Amino acid sequence: MHTATYAVEGMVCGHCVAAVRAELGRVPGVTGVVADLAAGTVTITGERPVDPAVARAAVEEAGLRLGDPCAPP
């Protein structure tokens, strides 16, 4: 399993969270998406690393902007 966490710019409500989860959930190979409204982040889990450009396009489809990767805790 591969996991990556990114900042999400513009995620301000539950609808935004749902849209991010839905769009990223459609990306082939993605097995889990956790969008954290309070932190302004999304964590993507997949069978293999998800191409950041593909993740960025999915989040833009939701009307938001994928920011930089967050450092692992």
Q: What is the DSSP letter of 52?
A: H
Q: Is the Cβ–Cβ distance between 64 and 23 less than 8 Å?
A: no
Q: Reply yes or no on domain 2-69 having CATH 2.60.40.420.
A: no
Predicted confidence (pLDDT) per residue in 14-36, tens digit = 999 999 999 999 999 999 999 99
pTM: 0.92
**pLDDT score recorded for residue 72:** 66
